[in-house]
A and B are shown apart, each in its own frame.
Chain A
């Protein structure tokens, strides 16, 4: 029960993204829909580019969608 609660919580907190069409398609295929707008979806290179442009650090989560 605690496992499910934590994973749901983390998925909610970190399941968010801004996307290209390819990432949108991947997200729909995986039914990975619990997402918010300020996250880049499955595109680490885009994350590095934005970090370089903004000076912000990167936060990359790895969470395979079952």
Chain B
């Protein structure tokens, strides 16, 4: 199905990140699969590959028809090059702080450096250097974050728009086709994510969309973004393991388990699922055990998602701090002071 299109490209299959130019190849490194379309001079035509979670959620944003369309759109941009060079400039990110994955401190290398290992090393290093911020965690927002549900078999056709969302306020409707965002021509949902990823939280983005097909209209509008639109679930991300949990994996307690333990339904409760050695050594030395139920962290009992718990751990505590877990163990409450690990 795609072979004819493939013949129009020079195709490269990269299977590890060693030696890869991280300034050029910036993408959501927690994906299992990603595509770049480029000119031989390094100009990026676009990206393809979007992941929203694990299991079934890992393929909700990719399909064979949409990769085909992205390939066709990339070829169209190639035919228009270099006249469109200025529009494409933003597709290349700022110089990355490490030239290659091997230069990242704390990157874990097994038989190869996987894509997610890059992000793990960056996150761990930033936390150890006390430089980790929310901006490092909320990466590559999905189109849904601004109210856009895209057609998985097209990538740029809008399936639905969340009422009162930034997309709705910009006048975008179901059936519209996105053409450009922040001046960058789009070829995929990954391109939308790229623009959103590069944008500050408070921003206005120029968007151009078409309505009604070839005989229809083209509209220029503005997306006004602010608040918490960048926040998303990070629990599924591979990099949240070694990069943030660092040997500590706790999962929210199910509702019926809360009921059995007389824990209020709207209260914080996590079960310690795994403590991976050697990273979790400090936790084990402090007395934490797999199977423990944590019912408060630093005295806080407000409910959290797994993603919020991970975020709290790393953004509220620096190396050298201690964190306080209140445990429910064999029906009794116990307090543990744990040095951050």
A-side contacts of B195, CB under 8 Å: none
**A59, B6: Cβ atoms under 8 Å?**
yes
Residue of A nearest to B77 (CB): A57
**B64, A9: Cβ atoms under 8 Å?**
yes
**Cα A48 to Cα B25 with chains together (Å):** 13
B140 within 8 A of A: no
Interface residues on B, range: 35 or more
Give chain B nearest CB distance to A9 CB in angstroms: 7
B-side contacts of A62, CB under 8 Å: 14, 17, 25, 27, 31, 33-36, 115
**B59, A3: Cβ atoms under 8 Å?**
yes
**A56, B9: Cβ atoms under 8 Å?**
yes
Interface residues of B in 66-93 (CB under 8 A from A): 67, 71, 74-75, 78
B-side contacts of A54, CB under 8 Å: 10
Query: CB within 8 A of B10: which of A32, A47, A64?
Result: A47
Given that A15-B13, A17-B13, A39-B11 are contacting pairs, would A57 and B38 also be in contact in the complex, using a CB cutoff of 8 Å? yes
How many residue pairs at the A-B interface have CB separations less than 8 Å?
Answer: 144
B270 within 8 A of A: no
B-side contacts of A7, CB under 8 Å: 32-33, 59
Interface residues of A in 1-55 (CB under 8 A from B): 2-3, 6-7, 9-10, 13-17, 26-27, 29-30, 32, 35, 38-44, 46-48, 50-52, 54-55
**B58, A61: Cβ atoms under 8 Å?**
no
**A59, B27: Cβ atoms under 8 Å?**
no
B-side contacts of A13, CB under 8 Å: 1-2, 6, 64
Give chain A nearest CB distance to B337 CB in angstroms: 39
A-side contacts of B34, CB under 8 Å: 61-63
**B8, A56: Cβ atoms under 8 Å?**
yes
Residue of B nearest to A49 (CB): B40
Mark contacts of B42-75 with chain A using CB atoms, 8 A cut-off: 1 yes-contact digit, 0 otherwise. 1001000000000110110011100100010011
**Cα A40 to Cα B38 with chains together (Å):** 15
B322 within 8 A of A: no
Residue of A nearest to B20 (CB): A44
Query: CB within 8 A of A57: which of B1, B16, B39?
Result: B39
Q: Which of A17, A57, A59 has the most CB of B within 10 A?
A: A59
**Cα A52 to Cα B42 with chains together (Å):** 10
Given that A40-B12, A42-B16 are contacting pairs, would A61 and B35 also be in contact in the complex, using a CB cutoff of 8 Å? yes
Residue of A nearest to B36 (CB): A60
B-side contacts of A61, CB under 8 Å: 11-14, 33-36
B254 within 8 A of A: no
Query: CB within 8 A of A38: which of B7, B17, B64, B114?
Result: B7
**Cα A9 to Cα B75 with chains together (Å):** 22
**Cα A50 to Cα B11 with chains together (Å):** 10
**Cα A37 to Cα B6 with chains together (Å):** 12
**A60, B38: Cβ atoms under 8 Å?**
yes
**B75, A57: Cβ atoms under 8 Å?**
yes
**B36, A58: Cβ atoms under 8 Å?**
yes
B37 within 8 A of A: yes
**Cα A13 to Cα B64 with chains together (Å):** 10
**B114, A59: Cβ atoms under 8 Å?**
no
Closest 4 CB pairs of A and B: A47-B12, A51-B40, A59-B9, A52-B40
